[in-house]
Amino acid sequence: MLMTVLIRNVAKPLLLTLSLLGLSAQALAATRV
């Protein structure tokens, strides 16, 4: 029970940061081209 809650609490910010990094990477690639 506790582990699943911890994983969920940790996975949400990780997914958000990954999505933000992906968007920034796409923006950098667009500006480079």
- Distance of alpha carbon 22 from alpha carbon 28, whole angstroms: 10
DSSP 3-32: HHHHHHHHHHHHHHHHHHHHHHHHHHHHHH
Token pair 């969920």: residue = 8
Convert the pLDDT of each residue in 7-25 to its tens digit: 999 999 999 999 999 999 9
pLDDT at residue 2, rounded to an integer: 87
Q: Where residue 33 falls among pLDDT bands split at 50, 70, 90?
A: confident
Of 14, 18, 17, the closest CA to residue 6 belongs to 14
Count the residues in the chain: 33
pLDDT at residue 8, rounded to an integer: 92
Q: Where residue 32 falls among pLDDT bands split at 50, 70, 90?
A: confident
